[in-house]
Structure 1
Amino acid sequence: MSALNLKKGSSRKSAYDLRDPNSEVIETHTIACVVDNEAGVLARVIGLFSGRGYNIDSLTVAEIDHLGHRSRITIVTTGTPAVIEQIKAQLGRIVPVHEVHDLTVEGRTVERELALFKVAGTGDKRVEALRLADIFRANVVDSTLESFVFEITGTPEKIEAFAELMRPLGLVEVARTGVAALSRGES
């Protein structure tokens, strides 16, 4: 405990970075990179992670500037604070990488993920799946007499909560896009 009775690392969004970079606490970070949109760039970024044994929890890539030939790679990864710093430093050294931002420590962010869920069921389970989908604001994008395909957008936690509720109702298959994230505000 510090003199202010703040527990170290109690707020990852705090203006004061109270986390110990040498701690063994595993943290989840969302890292956004702006890269050249050319062949092999994604392979080099992924190679950095696989070559050093870092895990990627989520990965999304899309072109953001057609005229400038730039893409944005959003990576959700876990590690100790020292490992996260090492990942950011190594990403910054890759030649086609123009910017590296750790959205987790740079301030408030908006994070969303899209998921499709195929749920099979009849009778009461079918009715319950539709009721839960309504509560979670999931859309029915396909329906047969035996199954539904739901589309849901939200935070990764919301997606996971929906999945947990659908499992006992006949969840057959899940497809997730991965996290897309932007920092809030003007910067």
Structure 2
Amino acid sequence: MKHTLSVLVEDEAGVLSRIAGLFARRGFNIESLAVGPAEQVGVSRITMVVPGDSQSIEQLTKQLYKLINVLKVQDITEVPCVERELMLLKVSATAATRSEIIELAQIFRARVVDVAEDALILEVVGDPGKMVAITQVLNKFGLMEVSRTGKIALTRRSGVNTEYLKSLEAKV
């Protein structure tokens, strides 16, 4: 199972390197990684997606807390949260296919950010499932380049679990 970890760290040189080293020593692969300033000055939030079972993630969390610059570690996999990613897609586009690609982009609320004679660059923001879906739809036109950020996430104060609500809607 993939786990999403939200880690608050002191914003100092070498912190990310020490965390990555810890993961490497333990044989863990980081599938997604996003780092940026948090709400507090001098603190950064690291959001990472790591495969593993609950027991190994719990052990990894304990190891993270042993690092001096780590302030808080939270496994937010099962916690209601808002998750987003950013993806840029360079899609091969001829005069004949351009309008179809733009229509498909609009369905996914993607923005065209660059137009060239033989290609379009689209900006897509959304949950990871949306990224997979638009990539599959546009694949037939020829994906020239893809660049994705790591997943970022914040827990919901409301406690509303939108994934649960989606599953209820699907049954109706």
Task: Indicate whether the TM-score tops 0.5.
Answer: yes
User: Could you say which residue in structure 2 is the equivalent of 1:130?
Assistant: 102
Distance in 1 (CA, whole Å) between partners of 2:65 and 2:131 is 31
1:63 maps onto 2:37 in alignment = yes
Gaps of 5+ in 1: 1-26
Q: Identity of paired residues, percent?
A: 43
The size of the alignment, in residue pairs, is 159
Cα deviation, residue 170, structure 1: 1.6
Greater share of residues in helix: 2
Match of 1:72 among 35, 39, 45: 45
Distance in 2 (CA, whole Å) between partners of 1:177 and 1:74 is 11
Match of 1:157 among 129, 147, 151: 129
Distance in 1 (CA, whole Å) between partners of 2:12 and 2:96 is 51
Amino acid at match of 2:2: T
1:84 maps onto 2:57 in alignment = yes
Cα deviation, residue 66, structure 1: 6.0
Is the 1:126–1:169 Cα contact (8 Å) retained in structure 2? no
Q: Please give the per-residue CA displacement for 1:114-133, whole angstroms capped at 9, x wherever unaligned.
A: 01000112144322211110
- Structure 1 length-normalised TM: 0.81
Amino acid at match of 2:33: L
The ranges of structure 1 where at least 4 consecutive aligned residues each deviate by more than 6 angstroms after the TM superposition are none
Amino acid at match of 1:180: I
Match of 2:12 among 28, 38, 47: 38
1:52 maps onto 2:42 in alignment = no
Q: Please give the per-residue CA displacement for 1:31-61, whole angstroms capped at 9, x wherever unaligned.
A: 0010010000000111111111101110000
Cα deviation, residue 163, structure 1: 0.9
Match of 1:103 among 76, 84, 107: 76
- Structure 2 length-normalised TM: 0.87
Once the two structures are overlaid, the 10-residue window that deviates more, 124-133 or 36-45, is: 124-133
Q: Please give the per-residue CA displacement for 1:75-128, whole angstroms capped at 9, x wherever unaligned.
A: 1111122111111111111110000011113x2011000010001121443222
Distance in 1 (CA, whole Å) between partners of 2:96 and 2:135 is 18
Distance in 1 (CA, whole Å) between partners of 2:128 and 2:34 is 13
User: Could you say which residue in structure 2 is the equivalent of 1:144?
Assistant: 116
State which structure, 1 or 2, has the greater radius of gyration over its C-alpha atoms: 1
Gaps of 5+ in 2: 160-172
User: Could you say which residue in structure 2 is the equivalent of 1:183?
Assistant: 155
Amino acid at match of 1:143: V
Cα deviation, residue 64, structure 1: 1.6
